[in-house]
Structure 1
């Protein structure tokens, strides 16, 4: 630009100037000395070149030998763990399987890991998300084992549900009645492609393999037979169940057991149900109370509660017939001694009365 000096600065038109008026002697001496030092270091590097003696700079060979890791080409195989206090018979360790049959182990099948046991306080650790259903049906203990034969594995879950009704209730709640149920003495079960699910007395079991191979399926069926010999507890077979199976000829898969909140009432527990057999949704029900007085009290409470949604057609001390206000289905209930029985959802009063008469007929010989 015209009129502008050649040495003018774009951002700062003022001339440069040193603000410090003096420099210390140390600063003046350090600069030249540092340059001399750099020159000497460079000269030393150039002179060294390949003048390298490993003996002077490397780690001593003896030190390397002392710190080296010994690597053996042959390693002894890991020996099979034997639980202290167990005997070794025929090359197979005798393991403690608790209440489970010892015959589960053998013929090439070995215990993989240890027997695992769970109670009500820690069942969720094994079946988190499903524990509540087992607890609702009287769960006390789970014994869990895994058996292995090469690449084949089978797990066994044995649940102690306290009593046969609890086992049957759990079996029904988990859809057991939708399968073809087989019987082996007092045991009932159905098979799956990789195992079996069933119950015996107070025990509910699940057998599950990791594939559908013949060895797995054969072992699963063998385990079912071995479990059939388990000693059971929890009382005998309840009278309502015997009436349904032995006298009313109801198929096992059609029987269900509701432990709590039958008909959605918290005062009704331990009710047995089966289809009426009319091709519809009607069902008969049976309940054995602890005493005749208890049965009378429950009978009265049931009729009173049902009357809120049903119209009373018959209301006698030991018999009541009600019709639903909107669905027009029939709910009939009777009491005899400590037994409460009836029909729910019948299409008409005649069908309900016929069902009650049939139940009363078999009760006479029960």
Structure 2
């Protein structure tokens, strides 16, 4: 076989033979371009403008001849350009493929360096956050407008019939935009039930009666002859009577009853009453059906091992236009309650002495205590609603952790006292904690935050239950944000049961950083057992292991400041850090 050559003539020959019709067209264009100047030159030397029948034609000027020649040559020139361009045209350039997405490499080619890519990513993130904020604000404004519409539905049967479907559609929209705010879906078509506030109530079953009460006198309304003063059914304040409260709790599933018992249903502050939740004074949910009440937010609670949720709401006497919604979530452990509380706490929030930690946001009050996370959310920002929300929160806090929410000296109203005798025997006597429970209570997870360095600008303490910083292997992390001048960063600590387990996580962290092409620098230091620095896209991470704990810093842009902070952080830690990995 003769060797093939790749000279210009062979390339032209191959190009011509690949498509003869295209080759003939290109050849014709080339001949036209080559012969047109010759034709114009020959015609210019002939006497074709001679006199005819007494008329004399003027010979054209040289520039007009050139323009005419250029126009004539333009036609084959354009055709020839199109023929050549067709060989390099991308057939998929204008094709739309809905299943094709840009890869990271495709997106990165438009940037000249890592700094430009990081700046573009930050700008895009801020734009998305602004759009999400606008959508969230719009949905919240719509929620506020729905309050007035729901109030009007009480006197308009057609509106009341349409309201449940409207609220369900609104829940779908809220889920789509990720609005993280309590939501209430009421069955507006349910007829109201007028519960007696004085005299003896009727009980559907004898077992619902308070101990020692007479069934006959209860059903007839006449007091028993030997009725003791302790069985008087007139409540000391607004709300349900003890018997009505016991009847409500009796209808709650056994698994949720102790949680529902934390809802203040009796002895409310003057001027307030409990709202009607579809003929009930309360609602209870478990992890499986929590979405029915807070569709769009339920999954975020499931991630923190939610056990159940109890709900009720209050409004001023005779004024249901605005209300105070109460949500009590029971999480799988105090750690999970702390974690969910931390994910929803704003950076700038007014701290309150409630439970283990609490804060106020507008008129709303939030706190966590033991395994409970409590939200008290008014729909009005007035002082009346704010004071009531705080009073209810204090009462629940003291029920969970006695003495955790002391009353202000100026407020001595017994209507908001904690754990009064009107609760009867429904809750039963609180059993003394076992030794294991006592040890768990003493090992308060918030104590691990004290291991993080103080200042500068320390804020936003959080507990991340899983996938911390996007790492699937990193969970149960305690962290805080820091700021100094123009620098910001985050510091974290994660204690494990053994140093071996901590070393394993440390190595996983380093391997994951290397997989993202980060520049890894090993650091020899006396402050920790092992340490490395990872630099990628202009951001710095310093990770260390000391004893049974893994700690570090991320999102810093100053290497010297980051190293100085980590050295101080690691040196301040003991050789063995308390942990919560009971299963390891």
Q: Residue in 2 aligned with 1:258?
A: 464
TM-score (norm 2): 0.44
Q: How far does residue 173 in structure 1 lie from its aligned partner after superposition?
A: 2.5
Higher share of residues assigned helix: 2
Q: How does 1:302-321 map to 2 (within 5 A)?
A: 302-308=509-515, 309-314=517-522, 318-321=529-532
1:197 correspondence with 2:197: no
Bigger radius of gyration, 1 or 2?
1
Note if 1:224 corresponds to 2:435. no
Which of residues 524, 533, 542 is equivalent to 1:322? Answer: 533
Q: What is the aligned counterpart of 2:549 among 339, 346, 352?
A: 339
Number of the residue aligned with 2:339: 169
CA displacement, residues 136-167 of structure 1 (integer Å, 9 cap, x when unaligned):
11211101112343115322100112333323
Q: What is the rounded CA distance, in whole Å, between the counterparts of 1:187 and 1:212 in structure 2?
A: 22
Q: Deviations over 1:24-47 (max 9, x none)?
A: xxxxxxxxxxxxxxxxxxxxxxxx
- Superposed, 1:1-366 pairs within 5 Å as 80=196, 84-86=208-210, 89-91=233-235, 93-94=241-242, 95-96=245-246, 98-101=261-264, 105-112=268-275, 113-150=280-317, 151-152=319-320, 153-184=323-354, 186-193=356-363, 195-231=364-400, 235=441, 236-238=443-445, 239-244=447-452, 248=454, 253-278=459-484, 279-308=486-515, 309-314=517-522, 318-327=529-538, 329-364=539-574
Judge conservation of contact 1:171–1:177 (CA < 8 Å) in 2: no
Distance 1:228 1:312, change over 3 A: same
Task: Give the secondary-structure state (helix, strand or coil) at the position aligned to 1:140.
Answer: strand
Q: How many Å separate the matches in 1 of 2:463 and 2:292?
A: 27
- Counting strand residues as a fraction of each chain, which structure ranks higher? 1
The question of whether the paired residues in 2 share the 8 Å contact of 1:186 and 1:201 is answered with: yes
In structure 2, runs of 5+ residues without a counterpart are: 1-192, 211-230, 247-259, 402-436, 578-584
Deviates more, 1:181-190 or 1:112-121: 181-190
Measure how far apart 1:274 and its partner are.
1.6
**What is the rounded CA distance, in whole Å, between the counterparts of 2:458 and 2:395 in structure 1?**
22
Task: Tell me: CA distance 1:283–1:111, structure 2 relative to 1, closer, same or farther (3 Å).
Answer: same
Task: Assess, with a 3 A threshold, how the Cα gap between structure 1 residues 185 and 252 changes in structure 2: closer, same or farther.
Answer: farther
What is the distance in 1 between the residues matched to 2:556 and 2:195? Answer: 68
SS of residue paired to 1:281: strand
Query: 1:217/1:331 Cα in 2 relative to 1: closer, same or farther (>3 Å)?
Result: closer
Q: Which residue of 1 aligns with 2:12?
A: none
Structure 1 stretch displaced more, 129-138 or 212-221? 212-221
Residues in 2 aligned to 1:268 and 1:125: alpha-carbon distance in whole angstroms: 31
Q: How far apart in 1 are the matches of 2:543 and 2:340? A: 26
Shift of the 159–82 alpha-carbon distance from structure 1 to 2, 3 Å rule, reads farther
Q: Is the 8 A contact 1:139 1:162 kept in 2?
A: yes
In the comparison of the two structures, how many residue pairs are matched? 286
Cα pair distance change 1:318/1:215, threshold 3 Å:
same
Confirm or deny: 8 A CA contact 2:355 2:398 kept in the other structure.
no
Distance change >3 Å, CA 325–CA 217, structure 1 → 2:
closer
Equivalent residues of 2:519, 2:536 under 8 A apart: yes
Instruction: Name the SS of the counterpart of 1:160 in structure 2.
Output: strand
> How far off its partner does 1:131 sit?
0.3
Gaps of 5+ in 1: 1-76
User: Taking structure 1 as reference, are residues 140 and 104 closer, same or farther at Cα in structure 2, changes over 3 Å only?
Assistant: farther
Q: What CA distance in whole angstroms lies between the structure 1 residues aligned with 2:398 and 2:481?
A: 32
The offset of 1:177, in angstroms, is 2.7
Give the 3-state SS of the residue equivalent to 2:350 in structure 1: coil
Per the TM alignment, residue 106 of structure 1 is displaced from its structure 2 partner at its CA by 4.9
Indicate how the Cα distance of structure 1 residues 274 and 79 shifts in structure 2: closer, same or farther if over 3 A, else same.
closer
- Structure-2 separation of matches of 1:361 and 1:293: 20
Report if the CA contact (8 A) 2:481-2:489 is conserved: yes
Contact 2:369–2:400 under 8 Å retained in 1: no
Distance in 1 (alpha carbons) for counterparts of 2:328 and 2:456: 27
Q: Distance in 1 between matches of 2:232 and 2:388?
A: 23
Asked if the contact 1:284/1:343 (under 8 Å) is kept, the reply is yes
SS across alignment from 1:114: coil
**1:143/1:351 CA distance change after superposition, 3 Å:** same
TM-score, with structure 1 as normaliser: 0.68
**How many Å separate the matches in 2 of 1:216 and 1:360?**
46
Shift of 1:253: 4.6
